[in-house]
């Protein structure tokens, strides 16, 4: 072990967003301008289960726009699950791009561990 880094996930990759939607059996994300309750947002719209409005991913900034009225219009756990699967898919995409192999393992606490084999011993 050499170093440990904590990362705040930013949603910047439309391909990984689409992969996450497929994996969660959500409808295909669409690039558009969406009406939220009192505003509009432009980006890649993700329809989460039982959410009144889509989650709009601005892949240029990595930020999300949504209005779930503090949980009344959409359960936060669905958004968390989307973010988790997005991060998994993004990791897999980047590792494959580098030619590394990736194994995935679900953990007892609900987290997902990805192991990327970088190559032979130094």
Partner 1 sequence: MTRIIEITVATDGQTRVETKGFSGAGCREASRFIETALGKRTEEQLTSEFHQQLGQQQTNRQQS
Angle between helical axes of 76-97 and 14-23 (0-180°, round to 10): 120
With contact defined as beta carbons under 8 Å apart, do 89 and 20 qualify? Answer: yes
What part of residues 30-69 is at the interface with partner 1 (CB under 8 A)?
62
75 binds partner 1 (CB under 8 A): no
Cβ burial of 11 (10 Å; 0-12, 13-18, 19+) is buried
Asked if 108 is part of the footprint of partner 1 (rule: CB under 8 A), the reply reads no
Kindly tell me which of 38 and 107 has the beta carbon lying closer to partner 1. 107
The site for partner 1, by CB under 8 A, has a size of 42
Interacting residues toward partner 1 by CB under 8 A: 1-10, 12-13, 62, 80-84, 86-88, 90-91, 93-95, 98, 107, 109-122
């Amino acid at each position: 072990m050499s170093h440990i880094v904590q990362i705040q996930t930013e949603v910047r990759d439309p391909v990984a967003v689409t992969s996450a939607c497929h994996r969660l059996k959500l409808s295909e994300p669409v690039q558009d301008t969406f009406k939220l309750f009192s505003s509009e947002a432009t980006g890649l719209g993700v329809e989460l289960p039982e959410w009144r409005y889509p989650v709009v991913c601005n892949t240029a900034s990595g930020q999300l726009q949504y209005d779930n009225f503090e949980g009344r219009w959409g359960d936060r756990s669905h958004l968390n699950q989307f973010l988790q699967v997005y991060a998994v898919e993004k990791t897999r995409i980047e590792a494959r791009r580098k030619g590394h192999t990736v194994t995935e393992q679900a953990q007892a606490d609900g987290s997902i561990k990805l192991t990327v084999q970088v190559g032979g011993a130094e």
